[in-house]
Structure 1
Amino acid sequence: MKRTASASWTGGLKDGQGSISTQSGVLSNTRYGFAARFEDGPGTNPEELIAAAHAGCFTMALSGQLGEAGIVAENLTTTAAVTLEKVDGGFSISAVHLDLVAKIPGGDQKAFDEAANKAKAGCPVSKLLNATITLNAKLES
């Protein structure tokens, strides 16, 4: 299976602008640029897209891990925070923090923690990233 996305850019780094599109059409010529990446300007940026991908991948993987343990969550909500740092004259994604809230009536904390940690380590986006990945997992009954 392969999925594709494309990006185009015109102009210089700070005064230029680009657009990103995805095969599914969810993003279609979506604007991105220096201000969106480094100054909270309008548009998206690669780190935001990585955060979305990681949150989605982890949450789906967790649903699978819980299912293997015979648990079905009422709701799983994950926020991923990607850290971009300037390192040795360049930039690096050094960390991702996953903040999870799971509503599982009558849920077992030990089984939940085990499933969450397996999902954090095993989701394909986690495996792709060369960053420290941390997790705060809250179980609500």
Structure 2
Amino acid sequence: MDRKATSIWTGSIKEGQGTITSDSGALQNQPYSFTTRFEGEKGTNPEELIAAAHSACFAMATSGNLSKAGFNPTRLQVTATVTVSKKGEGWEVGSSKLQLSAQIPEISEAKFQELAQDAKANCPISKLLRAEITLDAKLETMKRAGEPGM
């Protein structure tokens, strides 16, 4: 099963802007820019989207672990904080911090911690953040004004 999102960026890094669209339609030409990413302007950015994916995935993995162990969670609230910082000339995502607040009847603290730690290690987004990344890059040639085909 593949899930896709497409981003289109136009312009320079500081003055340009981009849009993100997901196949599901949850994101439709969602704008983002240098200022939404690095200068606190209201709007989304790649790190926020990673945080959203990580918190949702971890919540589901924790629920799955609890269910397999015979527990029925009343409520799981997960906040993921993805930290991006300047490193040399570039930027680096240094961590994703998960915070879990849970209401689960009849579970011990030790069992809760065991199942939560397993979910942290094994949720697919946690694994992705440790995964090899591959790239298939293709340069599209642009015709100059006045060339045939314009």
Q: One-letter code of the match for 1:28? A: Q
Matched with 2:37 is 37
More strand by share: 1
Q: Structure 1 CA distance, aligned partners of 2:90 and 2:124?
A: 26
TM-score (norm 2): 0.84
Q: Report the residue type matching 1:7 in the other structure.
A: S
Query: Percent same amino acid among aligned pairs?
Result: 50
Equivalent-residue separation in structure 2 for 1:56 and 1:101 (angstroms): 13
Distance 1:128 1:90 in 2: 22
Task: For residue 62 of structure 2, give the secondary structure of its aligned residue in structure 1.
Answer: helix
| CA shift for structure 1 position 89 | 2.0
Shift of 1:117: 0.2
What does residue 81 of structure 1 align with? Answer: 81
- Matches of 2:28 and 2:35, distance apart in 1: 19
Corresponding position of 1:93: 93
Unaligned runs of 5+ in 2: 131-150
Q: What RMSD in Å do the two structures reach over aligned CA positions?
A: 0.9
Q: Could you tell me how far apart the structure 2 residues matched to 1:42 and 1:19 are?
A: 15
Q: Which residue of 1 aligns with 2:69?
A: 69
1:24 and 1:129 mapped to 2: Cα distance? 22
Farther off after superposition, 98-107 or 69-78: 98-107
How many aligned positions are there? 130
Runs of 4+ in 1 over 6 A off after TM superposition: none
TM-score normalized by structure 1? 0.89
What residue ranges of structure 1 are gaps of 5+ in the alignment? 131-141
